[in-house]
Chain A
Amino acid sequence: MAQQEYMAGMLRLLILNELSRGEGYGYGIARGIQQRSGGDLTVRPESLYPVLHRMEQEGLLSCKWIEADNGRPRKVYRLTKKGQGRWEKGRVQFTKQAQGALKAIGADLEPGSAGS
């Protein structure tokens, strides 16, 4: 249960991170997370979409429907002010926690990676 909560929290942070760079749609967000993690993190649709919808309900994201290149409707998300605030706060918190955890286990972050 704690593991699930941790992973859900992590996914929310990753989504906020992706959308902090600009608006995005479901597949694009999943692909962005995968690429930015060097292929270490893969987000499945059944994990991604419930979290996106909950964040939308909580007012962290706003959405609009546009027409994709293939003519199909596409739902595009972007951060709201509330989501932006959550992202900034979450990034600082997560960085501190990650640094603390890495120190605790005797590892270290690569130079320049913290807080970037």
Chain B
Amino acid sequence: MDTRFGHPDDWGLSPERHSEIANELSDHLDCLQADEGGDAAQAAEAKLATPWVRRRISSAHIADQLTTTLLRWPTSVEWREWMWLGFWIVLLVGGVLASAHLDASHAMDSNSFWATGSYNISTVTIQQPILFYADTLVWLLAGCGIAGLISQLLLISGRAWQKGKGVLLARILHLNTILVTVGILAVTLLKSTYSSPQFPANVEIEPVLNVYTYSIGVVIIIAASLILRPQRLWPIALFCTLLWAGTVLTAPVRSDVICTFAHSASMSDVSVQSYLDKRWQEHGYTLVDGGEYQIVSHAFVLHCSNYMRVPYTNWHEDVPASMVVDKLTVASLATAPLHNTLHSLMWLFIPIPLTAVVVMYMLMLFQHRLRTPARLSLLLLGTVSLCFLIAPFLYSLMAIHVGHSPNMSFWHSTLMRLNLLPFDPSFGPLPGLLRLLRDSHNPLHVNLKYGLLFASWLPWLMLYIISHSSLLSHKAANPDMETT
């Protein structure tokens, strides 16, 4: 084989196909050298070494690139890409896991909080502000994971695209299988860990970084990159953009819960005790006499307004006493009142629609190259795969099926995120799909979830059929063999 045309992996081709093309190009260069001299041949050789020329020459061999890339062992470059991808996934899932644990550990159940009989405010556990900073840190980690993951996906796709369409399709299939499997496992594992926010704050939020300020930022970055050195600015700009897209709307907001206790101070200890005993017997719990709580949210990335909660119990009227009011800042809550931590995991599912494109492409590419039974099997598997891939998305877009009100669809939430509709912080990417994946009670939802997992592996079965179909064997493996 002529070494002037690199390694088969540089082209994404099988060794046999690469050898054939390299021999043909070598013959071309030899003839050129004989006709026009060494300079012309060297110029042509240099041109043939450029990626875009190689990509163009290999454009007739998409099927070969696809099957070769899917079936061969990863190269060292690909191993590095996988390791980085794994790192970002671990950062994302780890950040979400830590955030879920923090939320669960310091999110208070308002009912149990008031029903513990803790009329003595000294028994109230004061949450440590460190939790807020810890929550912010894990939020940032998850955000970096999201930005890194999407950057890595773009990088892998870009490198594959340079080699050819077949390599790109194969890489999309690789990525999709990994991401769907990891995503479904992570949601399944975390849903039992994570409990929904228990302290309902309903904080009104007005995003400072809305689509308008973001657009201004993008214009500034583009202008700066034109003036300065774009090759250094663009990766940072891309990372910041993805960080914004992936995380800002789920930023933790530090919220202090200020409880106001009122109790009858004029009663003697004995009468208080007897009153509480009586209340216990009558109601089964001993509340303080009355009070209310207020949640004060502090702006961090988002601007938040305060929200006053209504009194949590009635003022009793049967104890003649003057009221003494104590105030206590109970907790620094972060994230718990505002968003669903698991939403971040849904970024793993973003490439799924691309797999549908790969499946369609595989059907088109290989239909006429297979024997009839293999062709029918491929058609059947492709149809099933497409149905299972698309069904959960279509189903969850009709959000009424998965617990949202009818107007809370994907597009509605997208418009809200762009600040074109009233904002609701409970949405993340693909909110309907998350609800569907978390549901383990509705048989249809469970079937759709595992159907999606099944569909992400079906193209590999299609590949098995393709690679074992005799009509696809490399006819050029033997140079002496004539093809028709």
Contact = CB atoms under 8 A, between A and B. Distances in A.
A73 B28 contact: no
Contact of A62 (B56, B57, B480, B483): B483
Interface in B159-206: none
A63 to B, nearest CB: 6
B60 A64 contact: no
A70 interface: yes
Interface stretch (A14-22, A53-61, A85-93, A98-106): A53-61
A95 to B, nearest CB: 28
Given A62-B483, A65-B479, A70-B30, A75 B20 contact: yes
Given A31-B35, A72-B23, A46 B56 contact: yes
A45 B59 contact: no
B26 A26 contact: no
Interface of B: 20-21, 23-28, 30-32, 35, 44, 47-48, 53, 56-61, 479-484
Interface of A: 25-28, 30-31, 45-47, 49-51, 53-54, 56-57, 59, 62-65, 68, 70, 72-75, 80
B479 A72 contact: no
Contacts of A72: 23, 26-27, 30
A49 B11 CA distance: 15
B482 A49 contact: no
Contacts, number: 71
Contact of B482 (A59, A62, A73): A62
B484 A62 contact: yes
Contact of A75 (B23, B44, B47, B59): B23
A59 B44 CA distance: 29
Given A53-B60, A63-B482, A45 B44 contact: yes
Nearest to A70: B30
Given A31-B35, A63-B483, A64-B481, 7 more contacts: A28-B31, A30-B28, A45-B25, A45-B28, A46-B56, A50-B59, A73-B479
A74 B2 CA distance: 13
B60 A27 contact: no
| Max count, chain B CB within 10 A of own CB: residue among A47, A49, A51 | A49
A73 B474 CA distance: 18
A26 B30 CA distance: 12
